[in-house]
Amino acid sequence: MMVIGLVIVLSMVLMTLLGPWFAPYDPTAVNVSPPPNPSPPSADFPLGTNLLGQDMLSRVLHGGSVMLQVALLSVLFCFIIGVPIGLLASYAGGLIDKIFNIVMDSFYAFPGLVLAIAVAAMMGRGVVNMALSIAVVYVPSYFRIVRSQVLTIKELPYTEAARATGAKGRTVLLRYILPNVVPSIVVVATVNFADAILTAAGLTFVGLGVGIDVPDWGWDLTQGRQLLPSGSWWVITFPGFMIALLALGFTLIGEGLSELLNPRLEQ
């Protein structure tokens, strides 16, 4: 399972890195194929062309870059924001913990995509802004995981033993609790990659992605939807398939990792 996921994700990354050398055309050049456009897959254009006469194969080869960047950045943001506040709130306990809990729970009250769209609309286009608006949606799940883990671990004898040897609160938190929380966060992060990719596709779909001058699967999806009723299935199918495949890859890695790190789930 995890191996299949790894193969999928790594080949996607490779494809995005090496794609530009293999792409037969400039992915943003219009009318590389003579009209009428969109034209179905043919020998010259194996995946067909879109309404603007752009080569779909070139666009598919280039288009993963935005998705991967957004996913990576958003998971990174989640890590940077969710983990420290989860650690602090749960270790401090009391009022601080309560306040953070209420704030985080209130994020859950919004449907994820709607919240991401709202934040993205506020911040404008661009990879970083997309990543940030996705991070806003997923920070609470990091917070929750970290919090529940810290609450368990801080009662374990080895943290008590650490305190009994004169360790400071900070040392206990960073050297004894955090390293034992990391495996759970890694699992959440990999599963989160898949969600981030789908949310990123959703954001592009409603026009909050990057500009049209950058090849992007999400953008092609938007275009393809308009063309689908007229029978041009190829414009939406190939980028859509790539997004689904990438999300599947990350999900498989995440599940594999969680089985590896929490062996109890296997039973």
Partner 1 sequence: MISLPLLEVDSLTVDYRTRRGNIRAVNNVSFTLEKGETLGLVGESGSGKSTLGLSIIRLIPSPGVIVNGHIRIDGTDIMDLSKEKMRSIRGKKVAFVFQDPMTSLNPVKKVGAHFVELIRTHEPNVSEKEPLERAEKALTDVGILPDRINDYPHQFSGGMRQRIMIALAIALNPDLVIADEPTTALDVIVQAKILDLLKSLRNTYGMALILITHDLSIVLERCDKIIVLYAGNLVEYASSSELHRNPRHPYTQGLLKSIPNVELAQQKLEAIPGSPPNLLAPPKGCRFWPRCSFAQKKCRVEEPSVIELSSGHFVRCFGEIHNHERRHKR
Asked if residues 161 and 98 have their Cβ atoms less than 8 Å apart, the reply is: no
Residue 154 interacts with partner 1 (CB under 8 A): yes or no: no
Residue showing tokens 């998971």 = 75
Question: Least distance (Å) from partner 1 to the CB of residue 154?
Answer: 11
Residue 157 interacts with partner 1 (CB under 8 A): yes or no: yes
Q: Contacts with partner 1: how many residues (CB under 8 A)?
A: 17
Residue 124 interacts with partner 1 (CB under 8 A): yes or no: no
Residue 263 interacts with partner 1 (CB under 8 A): yes or no: no
Nearest to 51 by CA among 65, 35, 62: 35
Give the residue, chosen from 43, 95, 109, 164, that forms a contact with partner 1 under the rule CB under 8 A: 164
* Reduced 3-state DSSP string for 235-254: HHHHHHHHHHHHHHHHHHHH
Asked if residues 32 and 60 have their Cβ atoms less than 8 Å apart, the reply is: no
Give the residue, chosen from 36, 166, 229, 231, that forms a contact with partner 1 under the rule CB under 8 A: 166
Residue 165 interacts with partner 1 (CB under 8 A): yes or no: yes
Residue 176 interacts with partner 1 (CB under 8 A): yes or no: yes
Residue 184 interacts with partner 1 (CB under 8 A): yes or no: no
Report residue 194: phi and psi, to 5°. Answer: -60, -45
Nearer to partner 1, 117 or 173 (CB): 173
Report residue 49: phi and psi, to 5°. Answer: -130, 165
Residue 125 interacts with partner 1 (CB under 8 A): yes or no: no
Q: How far apart are CA 37 and CA 20, in angstroms?
A: 23
> What is the CA angle 103-147-163, rounded to 5?
130
Q: Could you tell me which stretch among 62-70, 173-181, 226-234, 258-266 binds partner 1 (CB under 8 A)?
A: 173-181
Asked if residues 242 and 64 have their Cβ atoms less than 8 Å apart, the reply is: yes
Q: Could you tell me which stretch among 151-159, 190-198, 205-213, 247-255 binds partner 1 (CB under 8 A)?
A: 151-159
Query: Who contacts 120 (Cβ-Cβ below 8 Å, separation ≥6)?
Result: 129, 130, 133, 203, 208
Question: Least distance (Å) from partner 1 to the CB of residue 213?
Answer: 47
Residue 230 interacts with partner 1 (CB under 8 A): yes or no: no
Give the residue, chosen from 17, 29, 156, 212, that forms a contact with partner 1 under the rule CB under 8 A: 156
Residue 161 interacts with partner 1 (CB under 8 A): yes or no: yes
The single-letter code of the amino acid at 90 is S
Q: How far apart are CA 237 and CA 221, in angstroms?
A: 8
Q: Which residues here bind partner 1, judged by CB under 8 A?
A: 156-158, 160-168, 171, 175-176, 179-180
